[in-house]
Amino acid sequence: MSAAKNDYKRITVKTLVDMKAKGEKISMLTAYDYTMAKIVDGSGIDVILVGDSASNVMAGHETTLPITLDQMIYHASAVIRAIDRALVVVDLPFGSYQSDPKEALRSAIRIMKESGGHAVKMEGGQEVKESIKRILNAGIPVMGHLGLTPQSIYKFGTYTVRAKEEQEAQKLKQDALMLEKAGCFGIVLEKIPAKLAQEVAESVSIPVIGIGAGNGVDGQVLVLHDMLGMTHEFHPRFLRRYMNLYDDMTKAISQYVTDVKSVDFPNENEQY
Ligand code: KIV
């Protein structure tokens, strides 16, 4: 068992709320496939997010907008087959919940039924309140996502820090209170000033998980491929790289190419 693991056998949405009440920080990472999810779950992570960042990381799209509900279900099913312990939260992709609450509920039900995910995450505050309520009424746990909301990238035009201005900060605080009141079990805050994120975390009893939101929140989330250094074009200030897998993998693969070409591989012990 990894030293990072706490004593919880299985993480539920209630575990996360209890962890916040006890002042225990929550760890969250993305995963989109079976092999990675197996490693992440076995390392003691509390929450795995099947993020719509799969659109960038797995499919090479410039934004998160193109990924479909079917593709999210495919990724989430693979992750679910790998996990023993973590709570698995699945992003509702762009276009699967914005038009009306009934469509939002249908999309959330498909994720729960077809992938076996444990909860859904959706971006936005007041604008998606009715959809959130409808999904929650069906017994599906919902995590909110405020601050930088990549599904609205074309509205904002940039990926810079959000809610630096008072008006946007006030709206974000109100949205966080609304999400708590509606019954969400947690909120992701992306790329906002640390002071504001801490204020939000202190104003609600549900866990607030930050990405680029400082350390005054209840937990942290990163994109797995970024923190492992597999992606190397992306280097925002908030990202800590724990490995440089891009270089390590490049070295290993180049060595393999050399070995094949020089007939060093396979050797006598590597054949039948
Ligand atoms: O899709 C994603 O990976 C996310 C995280 C950045 C929070 O929403």
Cα distance between residue 31 and residue 37, in whole Å: 5
Residue 211 near ligand 1, beta carbon < 6 Å: yes
Nearest residue (by CA) to ligand 1, atom 4, is 51
pLDDT at position 1:
43
Q: Are 187 and 206 in contact (CB under 8 A)?
A: yes
pLDDT number for residue 232: 85
Residue of the CA atom closest to atom 1 of ligand 1:
51
Strands (E), 9-102: 26-30, 47-50, 87-91
Catalytic residue check, 123: no
From ligand 1's centre to the CA of 9, what distance in Å? 25
Contacts of 3 (CB under 8 A, 6+ apart): 44
Out of 30, 40, 96, mutate this one to test ligand 1's pocket (max ligand atoms within 8 Å of CB): namely: 30
Give me ligand 1 centre to Cα 189, in Å. Answer: 10
Q: Is the CB–ligand 1 distance for residue 53 below 6 Å?
A: yes
User: Which neighbouring-strand residues pair with 160?
Assistant: none
Task: Tell which one of 29, 45, 52 to mutate to probe ligand 1, the residue whose CB is within 8 A of the most ligand atoms.
Answer: 52
Ligand 1 pocket member 30 (CB < 6 A): yes
Which of these CATH numbers, 3.40.50.300, 3.40.50.700, 3.40.50.720, 3.20.20.60, describes 3-241? 3.20.20.60
Q: How far apart are CA 178 and CA 180, in angstroms?
A: 5
Set 24, 114, 168, 190: catalytic member: 190
* H-helix segments, 49-146: 54-57, 69-82, 101-115, 129-137
Mutate to test the pocket of ligand 1, among 89, 92, 188, 189 (most ligand atoms within 8 A of CB): 188
Beta bridge partners of 19: none
- Contact assessment for residue 129 and residue 182, using Cβ atoms and an 8 Å cutoff: yes
CA dihedral 132, 13, 45, 212 (to 10 degrees): 40
- Cβ of 27 less than 6 Å from ligand 1: no
**pLDDT average per 10 residues of sequence, the chain (272 residues):** 70 98 98 98 98 98 98 98 98 96 98 98 98 98 98 93 97 98 98 98 98 98 98 92 98 98 98 97
**Rounded to the nearest whole angstrom, what is the distance from the C-alpha of residue 18 to the centroid of ligand 1?**
23
Report which DSSP code applies to 154.
Answer: H
Task: Give residue limits of the domains in the chain.
Answer: 3-241, 244-272
What token pair was written down for 194? Answer: 């640390």
223 in ligand 1 pocket by Cβ < 6 Å? yes
Single out the residue of 58, 133, 43 nearest to residue 93, CA to CA. 58
> From the alpha carbon of 57, which atom of ligand 1 is closest?
3
Q: What is the model's pTM?
A: 0.96
Question: What span, in angstroms and rounded, lies between the C-alpha atoms of 222 and 217?
Answer: 14
Distance (angstroms) between ligand 1 centre and the Cα of 74 equals 17
The set of residues, in sequence order, having a beta carbon less than 8 Å from that of 55 and lying 6+ positions away, is 61, 63, 64, 65, 66, 67, 93
